[in-house]
């Protein structure tokens, strides 16, 4: 079984490398001069071209021919209204279609940039289904299918019967989030926020795993995506806050006035730093993982440009490190989903914190719904 898993991981790494490097491999085997080979191998372009968003889904290359799935381009023109066409209309260089100029040019770092402008200079809004949006739709449908399937099973068999198969694995994760995140941090109000925490955790986890698939999109490595997730958490934090939270924010008790003048601005700034920390932490970790894996694989071609035999000899070393990083990224994908959900719970817990009535001698009452047998 261990050998089969090793071969599966090798296949994944080879497929991942094939997405970005098939063109580079073709250039390495050509009869071009050494200087031209060095110029053709643009490591930054390969890496950033792989993790960037695009109007098409690039799966892999067959020789020098890319295998892509065109995605719908949706443009809203303030004068002409809505226009929908396929991204296959993009061609390298400048093209024209249906009153729009479609540019697909290579950047300095080697990645491709696609721009759309209206020929009549009207203002347009690009609401296209890009690669990241396409994978977000897939992950959302998958998440809904997983959760509704488990819910139907519970509705049919009840909560008394022991869960089986995938339902058992799903329940273990849900109980972990409940017992290790929600209940210890949010106390008796944890049930109100369980849907949010579970949605954040599973949505981020599924998309982190999708990003590791060959041809997958680096969805959670996009700062716009993590920014939207952080914004959702920030809105819930503000909506859940109480008078106690705001009074301590703007008027910390038992603090001299001079210290308040320093402390209050810091507390206000920290209120906005919290969602920024959620956004940057997830974005940086997931993007860095992809960059490290691709950089390690790129070493094969870097050494291959210097010397063909050195490049071949470095293949086992590069693949070994790539497999190790791939396994680490599988762990990091789950950890980052847990950290995002956990920090969201911590920030909500700070916003709903009360007057600590249990310290004043008042009894703490637990409702019937909060008692877990």
pLDDT along the chain (373 residues), means of 10: 45 41 37 43 75 82 78 89 85 76 63 76 88 92 90 78 78 92 92 94 94 86 93 94 89 87 91 94 91 86 82 86 88 94 94 59 44 40
Whole-number Å distance between alpha carbons of 263 and 277 = 20
pLDDT score for 111: 55
**Spatial separation of the C-alpha atoms in residues 299 and 310, rounded to whole Å:** 10
**Secondary structure letter of residue 221 according to DSSP:** T
What ranges in 127-256 are assigned the alpha helix state H? 131-157, 166-177, 183-186, 190-210, 223-240, 243-250
pLDDT at res. 93: 67
Is the CB of residue 49 less than 8 Å from the CB of residue 297? no
Q: Is residue 34 part of a domain?
A: no
Instruction: Kindly state whether residue 89 falls inside one of the protein's structural domains.
Output: no
Whether the model pTM is above 0.75: yes
Kindly tell me the number of DSSP H helices and DSSP E strands found in the chain. Answer: 11, 8
CB 325 within 8 Å of CB 292:
yes
Answer whether residue 278 is part of any domain.
yes
Q: What is the pLDDT of residue 240?
A: 92
pLDDT value at residue 196: 95
CA 259 to chain centre: 40
Helical packing angle, 257-306 and 243-250, nearest 10°:
90
Q: What confidence score (pLDDT) does residue 14 get?
A: 40
Does the residue 316 lie in any domain? Answer: yes
- b (16+ CB within 10 A) / e for 14-43: eebbbbbbbbbbebbeeeeeeeebeebbbb
Q: Is residue 30 part of a domain?
A: no
Three-state secondary structure call for residue 61? strand
Is residue 372, in this structure, part of any structural domain at all? no
pLDDT in the model for residue 314? 83
Determine the pLDDT at residue 1: 42
DSSP state of 188: G
Interatomic CA distance for residues 241 and 302, integer angstroms? 54
Integer Cα distance of 323 and 211 in angstroms: 15
**Residue 134 has what pLDDT?**
93
The candidate with the shortest Cα–Cα distance to 26, out of 13, 14, 40, 15, is 40
With residue 57 as reference, give the H or E element that holds it: strand 56-62
Residue 288 falls within a domain, yes or no? yes
Place of tokens 């697909």: 104
* Domain boundaries, position 211: 132-356
Q: Which residues pair with 75 in a beta bridge?
A: 83, 126
* pLDDT reported for residue 40: 60
Strands 93-97 and 81-86: unpaired
pLDDT of residue 143: 92
Q: What are the phi and psi torsion angles at 258 (to 5°)?
A: -65, -40
Query: What local confidence, expressed as pLDDT, does residue 10 receive?
Result: 42
Based on the structure, what is the number of domains in the chain? 1
Element (H, E) at 298: helix 257-306
Cα 299 to chain centroid, rounded? 26
pLDDT value of residue 94: 74
| 228 lies in some domain | yes
């Amino acid at each position: 079984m261990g050998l089969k898993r090793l071969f599966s991981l090798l296949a994944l790494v080879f497929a991942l490398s094939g997405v970005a490097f098939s063109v580079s491999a073709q250039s390495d085997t050509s009869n071009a001069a050494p200087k031209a080979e060095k110029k053709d191998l643009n490591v930054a372009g390969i890496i950033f071209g792989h993790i960037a968003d695009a109007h098409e889904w690039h799966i892999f290359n067959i020789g020098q021919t890319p295998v892509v799935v065109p995605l719908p381009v949706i443009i809203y023109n303030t004068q002409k209204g809505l226009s929908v066409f396929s991204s296959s209309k993009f061609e390298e260089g400048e093209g024209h279609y249906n009153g729009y100029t479609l540019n697909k040019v290579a950047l300095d770092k080697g990645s491709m940039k696609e721009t759309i402008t209206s020929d009549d200079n009207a203002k347009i809004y690009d609401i296209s289904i890009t690669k990241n949006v396409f994978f977000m739709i897939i992950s959302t449908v998958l998440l809904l299918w997983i959760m509704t399937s488990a819910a139907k099973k519970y509705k049919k068999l009840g909560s008394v019967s022991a869960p089986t198969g995938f339902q058992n694995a799903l329940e273990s994760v849900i109980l972990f989030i409940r017992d290790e995140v929600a209940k210890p941090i949010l106390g008796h109000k944890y049930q109100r926020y369980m849907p949010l925490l579970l949605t954040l955790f599973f949505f981020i986890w599924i998309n982190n795993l999708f990003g590791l698939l060959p041809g997958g999109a680096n969805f959670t490595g996009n700062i716009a995506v993590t920014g939207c997730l952080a914004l959702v958490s920030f809105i819930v934090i503000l909506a859940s806050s109480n008078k106690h939270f705001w009074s301590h924010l703007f008027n910390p008790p038992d603090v001299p006035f001079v210290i308040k003048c320093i402390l209050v601005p810091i507390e206000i700034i920290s209120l906005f730093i919290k969602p920024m920390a959620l956004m940057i932490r997830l974005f940086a970790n997931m993007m860095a993982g992809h960059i490290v894996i691709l950089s390690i694989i790129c070493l094969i071609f870097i050494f291959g440009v210097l010397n063909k035999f050195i490049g071949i000899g470095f293949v086992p070393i590069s693949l070994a490190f790539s497999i190790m990083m791939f396994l680490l990224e599988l762990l990091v994908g789950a950890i980052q989903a847990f950290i995002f959900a956990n920090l969201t719970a911590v920030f909500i817990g700070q916003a709903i914190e009360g007057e600590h009535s249990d310290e004043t001698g008042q009894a703490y009452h637990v409702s019937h719904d909060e008692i877990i047998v």
